[in-house]
Chain A
Amino acid sequence: MDYTNFFLMKEELSLIGVMLILLVYDIFSGEKGKRHFQTLALGLLGLHTAVNCLPREAFDAFGGMYSYKPVMTAVKTILSAATIIVLMQVNNWLKDEERRNKQGEYIYLTLSTLLGMYFMISSGNFLLFVIGLEMASIPMAALVAFDKYRQTSAEAAAKYIFSAAFASAISLFGISLIYGSTGTLYFDDLAGSITGSPLQVMAFVFFAAGLFFKISLVPFHLWTADVYEGAPTTVTAYLSVVSKGAAVFVLFSLLTKVFGALMEEWQFILYALVLLSITVGNLFALRQKNMKRFLAFSSISQAGYIVLAVLAGTPQGLTALIYYVLVYACSNLAVFGVVSIIEQRSGKTDIADYNGLYKTNPRLSVAMMLALFSLGGIPFFAGFFSKFFVFMAAAEQGFYVLIFIALLNTVISLYYYLIVVKAMFVKDNERPIETIRSDRPAQIALALCMFGVLCLGILSVVYEGIGQLAL
């Protein structure tokens, strides 16, 4: 056994290092030291991201159990940057009276889900993949239940953990059947052994359902809205961006690498799922009254667009996918940033509460508006370019009908995003949300997201850089 293999897992090791330092600090620092805990966490995580942001040569470690490709650096960097933004937004909320002593827990739990996603992304074997997947979802349930005296938080957590356990049981059963029919769990060997038989097809669907659940594609999405609504807002933001982004990337690499032989089948299934997700997500989003539920359904329909890139299955599709995740992270985190600031200061989460927000909080409203425009794909915001590239990738594979339907759906989605914009700018409110002074980290997070929303599309370097890695 060559122990130097461990040092090849640089990203994971440095993240574990960050977690250990934080753990030790949390235990031994006094009441005073606790005040700087979050600053330390953000600094370390920033350092971790910066150190690991340069891609390396592709390699396999531990006999193929762990496998690295340059493009994974892009994904991991995006995920950890998004985590940093989430942690910045959470800053003020964690300093509350009732949560001050639980800052550490929140941050380790978040980081351990991130670590799980790292393993999931770099896995070269189903064992490591499953461990990563569970590591990403079990602490998440604890995070969802973080407000433990709030009934909805507990309910959301129960729904999450039970659905997740059910999905992972089905997924595991699928993997066991795959193992039974091929005799290996290594992705590289599987690629050759999966040749197609009804058993393998069924096993594949069982397995993939676990990922569909994480990405929350219709009809595996039913948990999404309830959990998003009940969970603390920052956890929702994390769940909708980071967790989803990692799962989509893994779905892409598994489908193209391991299940390439079943391409016809999975394309058919994904076709249906994309269609359902975009449409059903939109239909439900139209009739939501609660902001967080609304965003849950919007994220379901966004997931449909991302999976459109998976459907393309080409390097161009992969580029479009990662780019979409990046842009989606910026836009969605900006929206959630505003929602969580408002929720923390006023406790309001209904769309109707946002009426007349512009009069009292012009800056938050404008930030929200820009982010929603980007989500809706209005030209020259980043969201327009990300949708454009996804459609281009899908068009190259000839999915014209699906693209057409997706385009129709963007119009619907524009409509409901504009409802929120209209509420903020046009509608009057007798008791509008009072003027809010948000804390500095949340402001910086919002500014970063705004930068992404406005500039990512225009700076084509980003897209091309990802394209270089994805080849």
Chain B
Amino acid sequence: MQYTLVILLLPLLSFLLIGLLDSKLKPSLAGNLGTLSLAIIAALSYYCAFDYFTADRVNGVFQPVIMQMEWLRFSDSLHIDLGLLLDPISVMMLVVITTVSLMVHIYSLGYMKGETGFQRYYAFLSLFTFSMLGLVVATNIFQMYIFWELVGVSSYLLIGFYYTKPEAVAASKKAFIVTRFADLFFLIGILILSFYTQTFDFATLTAGNSNILSETAGATFLGASVLTWALALIFIGGAGKSAMFPLHVWLPDAMEGPTPVSALIHAATMVVAGVYLVARLFPVYFFYSPEVLAGIAVVGAFTSLYAAVVACVQTDIKRVLAFSTISQIGFMMVSLGASGFEGHEGLGYMASMFHLFTHAMFKALLFLGAGAIIHAVHSNEMSHMGGLRKYMPITHATFLIACLAIAGIFPLSGFFSKDEILAAVFHFCPILGVVMSFIAGLTAFYMFRLYYNIFWGEEHKHEHQPHEAPKLMTFPLIFLAAVTVVAGFIPFGHFVTADGMLYDIHIDMTVALSSTVVALIGIALATLMYRKPTQIPATLAKSSPGLYKAAMKRFYIDEFYLFVTKRVIFNCISRPLAWFDRHVIDATMDGLATITQQASVKIRGLQSGQLQRYVLVFLIGVLLAAAIAIIVYLA
């Protein structure tokens, strides 16, 4: 399967080509070049998936394909490799990334038309695609870390694409700093893990009950095993990228970037990197520190609930979608945390990956739809929309499909994946199951609140008549909608499971029925409140102003961070430090600088330009060195 290398190299090539030529390339050419290369690698990924999943199973498991070369060598056992690892989840991710990326590339041809820096935009898109692909096919955790950082950088570049807009610059900085902060823990985790296990390789790490790991599990630190610490730290890295509470603050702000970018990076691909990371190391988590796994479930559930509540009151449509993304990633995390390993026990893992797949499609669809709407009305605010269904029939239809899918209505893809997640969570802990069902209902509610506010309700006065997006933009919408409709029927358990064995999905009727009912209630409520302008939302908001305002302000998490950084860190730590710096360190430094200057004036005499002085210094040097050497010899 050597051709998979092309999948990785082609986007890099197109990045270099477009990036280096930049403004020398005609914008349309740059766009077409990027899109063409993406189309090629998408086709290759599909072929690769076909190839991989039609190969024979050995002992009931698809064999991983590893191609790698040694890169940096520290010792015989510890070296960093670069390579490609194909196994069910990485192949699945290849398909997801290339599909969504291709759609975004096509869509952007229309959406970004005429923007300054069009070529730069496509160069960055290629860079992002390259790094994301490199991340998922990494054979070892260090390679993953390198691409992880590259993904962060390209995301930073894309969020800050409109670099003349201060909000965009601030948002890109925030995203970079928050995720970098989390990555620090990730790196420490990697170092601990590799120090104790002497390997970076995923294959070695996840190879069932390997000796290295069980030995390592013995070492403890502060009451928990070292392995647990390492895994927890690694999860913090994943939580940063996947916007888990309390590291989620960057994601809503990241919506300042161009909308297709949000669809690609902040909905479908990069933000699920954390989920992917946990899935990649799942056997290690499961066998060696189930407590961390339980922690992941709790963090996921809380994040999911929190984000869903906040999403209910946001008015910027992209922010609603951002919070919905956070909430859905929470679902995936819970499902992973609740999963077992073998057979039916491993349902959660399968469900999580399945949801990752379906969510990527319909969330990208939602974002692209939102992009089309913003394109039409030139605003992100719900209050500037309303009644758009007449003007934008295609966008309307596809958006509705996506909303139904995320709400979990049969027979759309979201129904199947969410159903599996709920089943797995109920199996793990019924209370958590109830909570997650409630969140599913909330999801249906806020999505339809969004839907009605955009497409129904009171029509807003527009300066220009809103119109349907151009074909380049509607094609990806239709394609993704089609995928959303049929994806649920993919027998996902035949491809991706925790233990690699074939697993048949059964729909658990009680869970399916109850979750459908909950979703329908959510939709009904939203219909009641938002389909026509009513006083209900306002009354509700008034009846519990505290809660409403708190949710509106995203429960003050951002303010809390500001408080911590500005008040606590600046006042209590930085001020005294600044004083210390000015009066003690600076004084010392000034002194040092004076000494250095005087020294440099003094030693200037050395470089006098007089040959004979040079030779004298040389001679003194030789004699001194000889004397010292003899003293050392005698001593």
Contacts and interface: CB of A to CB of B under 8 A. Distances in A.
Query: Top 3 closest A-B pairs, CB basis?
Result: A222-B614, A219-B621, A205-B626
Contacts of A30: none
Contacts of A269: 625, 628-629
Nearest to A276: B621
Interface string B619-635: 11110011011101110
A223 B611 CA distance: 8
A16 interface: no
A206 B607 contact: no
A268 B625 CA distance: 9
Contacts of B221: none
Given A159-B614, A223-B614, A460-B72, A201 B620 contact: no
Given A223-B614, A283-B599, A201 B626 contact: yes
A280 interface: yes
Given A280-B603, A283-B600, A283-B603, A220 B628 contact: no
B615 A198 contact: no
Given A205-B622, A287-B600, A268 B617 contact: no
A26 interface: no
Given A198-B630, A204-B629, A268-B629, A219 B617 contact: yes
Interface in B208-248: none
A462 B197 CA distance: 28
25 contacts: A159-B611, A163-B615, A163-B618, A166-B615, A166-B618, A170-B622, A198-B630, A198-B633, A201-B633, A206-B622, A209-B622, A222-B614, A222-B617, A225-B607, A265-B629, A265-B633, A268-B628, A268-B632, A269-B629, A272-B625, A272-B628, A273-B625, A283-B600, A284-B607, A464-B73
A209 B617 CA distance: 12
Contacts of A460: 70-73
B409 to A, nearest CB: 49
A226 B610 CA distance: 10
B546 interface: no
**Which one of A213, A226, A266 has the highest number of Cβ atoms from chain B below 10 Å of its Cβ?**
A226
Contacts of A206: 622, 626
B565 interface: no
**Which one of B596, B622, B632, B633 has the highest number of Cβ atoms from chain A below 10 Å of its Cβ?**
B622
Interface string A447-471: 0000000000000100010000000
B611 A265 contact: no
A283 B596 contact: yes
A222 B71 CA distance: 41
B609 interface: yes
B25 interface: no
Interface in A189-230: 196, 198, 201-202, 204-206, 209, 213, 219-220, 222-223, 225-226
Interface string A317-352: 000000000000000000000000000000000000
Contacts of B600: 283-284, 286-287
A166 B622 CA distance: 12
A223 B599 CA distance: 20
A264 interface: yes
Nearest to A389: B72
A59 interface: no
B568 interface: no
Contact of B606 (A198, A201, A222, A272): A222
Given A209-B625, A284-B600, 20 more contacts: A202-B626, A202-B630, A204-B629, A205-B629, A206-B622, A206-B626, A209-B622, A213-B618, A219-B620, A222-B613, A225-B607, A226-B609, A264-B632, A268-B628, A268-B632, A269-B625, A283-B600, A284-B603, A460-B70, A460-B71
Contacts of B603: 280, 283-284
Contacts of A262: 629, 633
A167 interface: yes
Given A202-B626, A272-B628, A286-B600, A220 B70 contact: no
Contacts of A403: none
Contacts of A283: 596, 599-600, 603
A416 to B, nearest CB: 13
Contacts of B607: 222, 225-226, 284
Contacts of B619: 170
A460 B625 CA distance: 38
Interface residues of A, number: 37
Q: Is the interface of A mostly helix, strand, loop or mixed?
A: helix
Contacts of A266: 629
Nearest to B614: A222
Interface of A: 158-159, 162-163, 166-167, 170, 196, 198, 201-202, 204-206, 209, 213, 219-220, 222-223, 225-226, 262, 264-266, 268-269, 272-273, 280, 283-284, 286-287, 460, 464
Contacts of B606: 222
**Which one of A198, A202, A222 has the highest number of Cβ atoms from chain B below 10 Å of its Cβ?**
A222
Nearest to A392: B74
Nearest to A457: B72
Contacts of A159: 611, 614
A219 B633 contact: no
Nearest to B616: A222
Interface string B575-608: 0000000000000000000001001100100110
B602 to A, nearest CB: 11
Given A280-B603, A283-B603, A460-B72, A222 B618 contact: yes
Given A209-B622, A283-B600, A460-B71, A202 B629 contact: yes
A156 to B, nearest CB: 11
Contacts of B625: 205, 209, 269, 272-273
B233 to A, nearest CB: 22
A34 to B, nearest CB: 37
Nearest to B599: A283
Contacts of B622: 170, 205-206, 209
B573 to A, nearest CB: 25
Contacts of A198: 630, 633-634
A163 B632 contact: no
Contacts of B613: 222
Contact of B621 (A196, A201, A209): A209
A202 B625 CA distance: 9
Contacts of A464: 70, 73
Contacts of A286: 600
A196 B611 contact: no
Contact of B630 (A201, A219, A226, A272): A201
A196 B632 CA distance: 11
Contacts of B73: 460, 464
Contacts of B71: 460
Contacts of B611: 158-159, 162-163
Nearest to A287: B600
Contacts of A223: 614
A286 B625 CA distance: 27
B322 to A, nearest CB: 32
A369 to B, nearest CB: 16
A201 B596 contact: no
A201 B614 contact: no
Nearest to A458: B71
A222 B611 CA distance: 9
Given A220-B621, A269-B628, A460-B71, A163 B633 contact: no
A176 B606 CA distance: 31
B140 to A, nearest CB: 15
A115 to B, nearest CB: 27
A395 to B, nearest CB: 12
B626 A196 contact: no
A167 B617 CA distance: 12
A196 B629 contact: no
Contacts of B629: 201-202, 204-205, 262, 265-266, 268-269
A266 B611 CA distance: 28
A163 B617 CA distance: 11
Contacts of A158: 611
Contacts of A166: 615, 618
